[in-house]
Amino acid sequence: MSWKLEGTYMESCSCDAICPCIVLNTPTKGYCNALIAWKIDKGSDDSVDLSGLNIALLLNSPGKMHETPWNVAVYIDSKAKEDQKNSLLKIFGGQAGGHPAALAKMIGNMVSVADADIEFTKQGKNYNVKVANVADVELEPLVGPDGGDVTVNNALLAVAPGYSTVVGKAKKSRIKAHNWDWNFDGQQCMHSPFVYEG
C-alpha cells in the first residue's frame, strides 16, 4: 500500500503578513484562524485515483499553533466518490503517515467533516479558493523590490515542507461556518506546490 499527492496548496489566515506562526512565534492576534486548501493535480492511494480533487479545512488555534490543539472543520470535494473520500480522510487525518500525519497530530477537536463544492482557480498570479456556502478567498502575492514574489523557505511550521512558499495578502477573504465568522481582508496568505507521500 502506497500513496502520493502533488499539487498546490493555499492558505489565508488572521495574522499580519508575514505570519509569525511559521517560525513558532505568537500569532499576531494571540490566536490564529485559517483556511487551508489543497488542489490535488495528481494523486493516488494504492489503486484509488485522487487526481483533480480538492480538500479544505478551517482551523482555529487559540494560542501558539505548535502548542495549542487546533479546532478543525474539514471539507471534502463533493466530486469525490466514496472510496476517494475515504482515502482523503485517511491521508489528511494522519492515518497514512507522511507530512499530513505531522499536521494531524496538532488537531485537538474535529468540529465537522462535510462534502462541499470546492473551486480552486488561478488568474494571473492570484489564487482564488471558494468553498460553497463557507469561504470565498482571493490571494494576491506581495511584490518584492525586484518585481518578483516575496517567498519564505525552510519555515519551522510548514504545510508544504521543501518548497519555496509565496507570501501574499488577501484581496478578499470571507469565511463563515459553525460559530466562526471571519474577515481576513488584507491579512496573510501563502501558496506553494506540495508533494506528500507515504
Domain ranges of the chain: 3-197
pLDDT computed for residue 196 by the predictor: 98
- pTM (2 decimals)? 0.96
Question: Does residue 103 sit in helix, strand or coil?
Answer: helix
- Show Cβ contacts of residue 138 under 8 Å, excluding neighbours closer than 6 positions: 126, 127, 128, 170, 171, 172, 173
pLDDT computed for residue 26 by the predictor: 95
Low-confidence ranges of the chain (pLDDT < 50): none
pLDDT computed for residue 1 by the predictor: 73
pLDDT computed for residue 130 by the predictor: 98
Say what the alpha-carbon torsion angle 74, 72, 93, 67 is, to the nearest 10 degrees: 160
